[in-house]
Amino acid sequence: MSKKGFIFDLDGVIVDTAKYHFLAWQQLAKNLDINFTEEENEQLKGVSRVRSLEKILAWGNKTISQDLFDKLMGEKNEEYLSYIAEMDESEILPDVPKVLSFLKDNKQPISLGSASKNARTILERVNLKSSFNAIVDGNDVTKAKPDPEVFLIAAKQIDMKPEDCIVFEDSVAGVEAANTANMISIGIGSKSVLGHADYVFNDFTEISEDFIKSLIEK
Ligand code: B16
Ligand code: MG
């Protein structure tokens, strides 16, 4: 069988941590008297921590000092980590382990490509760290998605050319990053949001082994 590089986003693809980000950002917004909605939280998917806080402050028409900004970012992360600490394997999204095992059995290199600085902790919690040949996350990049940097580094770490890589992504910015990197983009979510991806599936239960084989042989 030929070889392709498979790059997975984390939040929204492997686990649903958006709900924990939401709870932590909501607490922060409440303390600042800002009304923060689930719709707004949707717009923070794939967006870095710094940029997320900038957006929340802009929605609430608030300006704060750099010191307070840094303090709030720290507090938000502490709260987020308290939810992460409770995670276990039951939070892995349906059929993700099946797809990872299929790729491993067929000797396909696998990398993580996430914006999160907590990616390694999350993978450890859900016991998936050893499924990845490389892990590239928010600590390894200088430019956030939609910049392709995270996926280009991931491709390099698994010794694959960008055009031989396939990216699974749930965010608009992430799909854009994969497209810019000249990789095949597979959107996980709704077609109405991720219409710019090469393929879109609601979740991994819709992705067949035959489809993955066809990508490998492409
Ligand atoms: P952290 P992904 C992203 O992860 C999340 O979708 C986004 O909501 C979050 O703000 C970002 O990570 C940074 O996360 O605060 O843990 O560094 O989807 O790229 O895996
Ligand atoms: Mg994501």
Ligand 2 center to 168 CA (angstroms): 9
Ligand 2 center to 52 CA (angstroms): 13
Residue-wise pLDDT for 8-42, tens only, equals 999 999 999 999 999 999 999 999 999 999 899 98
Residues with CB under 5 A from ligand 2 (ion): 9, 11-12, 46, 170-171
9 is catalytic: yes
Does residue 7 sit in helix, strand or coil? strand
- Choice from 73, 83, 87, 114 to test ligand 1 binding pocket (greatest atom count within 8 A of CB): 114
DSSP 116-178: -TTHHHHHHHTT-GGG-SEEE-TTS-SS-TTSTHHHHHHHHHTT--GGGEEEEE-SHHHHHHH
pLDDT for res 203: 98
Task: Report which ligand 1 atom has the smallest distance to the Cα of 52.
Answer: 10
pTM given for the model: 0.95
pLDDT for res 218: 85
Check pLDDT > 80 for residue 122: yes
Pairing of strands 5-8, 165-169: parallel
Residue-wise pLDDT for 95-108, tens only, equals 999 999 999 999 99
Q: Which domains does the chain possess? A: 5-15+89-217 (3.40.50.1000), 18-84 (1.10.150.240)
What percent of the chain shows pLDDT beyond 90? 97
Residue-wise pLDDT for 162-217, tens only, equals 999 999 999 999 999 999 999 999 999 999 999 999 999 999 999 999 999 999 99
Task: Report which ligand 1 atom has the smallest distance to the Cα of 174.
Answer: 19
pLDDT for res 1: 72
Helix or strand run (H / E) with residue 53 = helix 49-59
Task: Report which ligand 1 atom has the smallest distance to the Cα of 138.
Answer: 17
| Cα-based angle 156, 160, 165 (whole degrees, multiple of 5) | 105
Amino acid identity at 209: E
Whether 131 contacts 92, CB under 8 Å:
no
Q: What is the mean pLDDT of residues 63-88?
A: 98
